[in-house]
Amino acid sequence: EAQVTQNPRYLITVTGKKLTVTCSQNMNHEYMSWYRQDPGLGLRQIYYSMNVEVTDKGDVPEGYKVSRKEKRNFPLILESPSPNQTSLYFCASSFGGGGNQPQHFGDGTRLSIL
């Protein structure tokens, strides 16, 4: 089954404790992206990757890191999480970055930073 898998689905942690949210896709997609969803703001892009070893900042990259060492994986790293990073996070992938290439989303990761 074609899917984007995120882990964990839920996490409550404390300020400053490094965490990684994993994302894996099995569709051989080149393009992967991380978003955060906050009430009243829709989805905002954090980072995206056009292919292996190619990453770039989205609209809200501060406080986040990513890596793309393999085509299927695109982890999101919070080196020193802060309460303003409490949010719902989505990973997405598609064959290309074009608007005519619909993105496939994972089911989300709800992070609470205390």
- Please count the residues of this chain forming the interface with another protein, following the rule CB under 8 A: 28
Question: Which of the stretches 18-26, 42-50, 64-72, 75-83 binds another protein when contact is defined by CB under 8 A?
Answer: 42-50
Q: Is 40 in the site for another protein (CB under 8 A)?
A: yes
Q: Does 97 help bind another protein (rule: CB under 8 A)?
A: yes
What are the distances in angstroms from CA 6 to CA 40, 49, 100, 105? 23, 16, 24, 9
Q: Binding to another protein by residue 47, rule CB under 8 A?
A: no
Asked whether the CA dihedral 85, 89, 32, 17 is positive or negative, the reply is positive
> CB of 55 within 8 A of CB of 70?
no
Give me the least distance between CB of 100 and another protein, in Å please. 6
Q: How far apart are CA 103 and CA 45, in angstroms?
A: 13
Residue numbers of the site for another protein (CB under 8 A)? 4, 35, 40-45, 48, 50, 56, 58-59, 90, 92, 96-108
